[in-house]
C-alpha cells in the first residue's frame, strides 16, 4: 500500500504517519474519509454549474444570520474559559497606522 509518492528520494519518510493512520488511527482521522470524498465530488459537480453555485453562495451568505468572531470569542471567554476582559491602555504612538 505504501508508495512513497510524496518523498521519492526518501520513500519511507512518511511511512510511520501512514501506518498510524491506516493501522492504528486512534483519533479516527480517516473514519469518515469515504463520506468526505463523496461530498467533495458533489461539491465539484456543483461548482461546475456556475449559476447554481452562485445561487447557493448568495443564499448561504443571506441565511447565515448574525455571526461575529468578536461575539464568538466573548462567548467562549464567558461560557467555556471563564476568562474576564483585561483593559489595555495604549499611547498614541503605540496605535497602528491607518
Q: What is the mean pLDDT of residues 83-87?
A: 92
Label residue 6 by pLDDT band (50, 70, 90). Answer: confident
Cell triple for residue 10? 526518501
Cell triple for residue 75? 462567548
Q: What is the model's pTM?
A: 0.49
pLDDT of residue 2: 65
- Per residue in 16-63, pLDDT (tens digit) is 998 999 899 998 989 999 999 999 999 999 999 999 999 999 999 888
Report the chain's mean pLDDT, rounded to a whole number.
89
Q: What is the largest CA-CA distance in the chain?
A: 61
16-39 burial: b if 16+ Cβ within 10 Å, else e: eeeeebeeeeeeeeeeeeeeeeee
DSSP state of 92: G
Residue whose cell numbers read 501506518: 19
Amino acid at each position: 500500500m505504501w508508495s512513497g509518492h510524496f518523498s521519492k528520494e526518501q520513500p519511507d519518510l512518511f511511512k510511520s504517519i501512514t501506518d498510524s493512520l491506516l493501522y492504528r488511527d486512534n483519533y479516527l482521522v480517516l473514519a469518515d474519509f469515504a463520506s468526505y470524498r463523496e461530498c467533495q465530488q458533489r461539491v465539484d459537480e456543483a461548482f461546475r454549474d456556475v449559476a447554481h453555485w452562485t445561487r447557493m453562495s448568495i443564499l448561504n451568505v443571506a441565511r447565515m444570520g448574525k455571526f461575529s468572531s468578536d461575539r464568538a470569542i466573548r462567548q467562549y471567554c464567558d461560557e467555556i474559559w471563564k476568562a474576564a476582559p483585561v483593559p489595555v491602555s495604549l499611547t498614541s504612538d503605540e496605535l497602528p497606522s491607518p
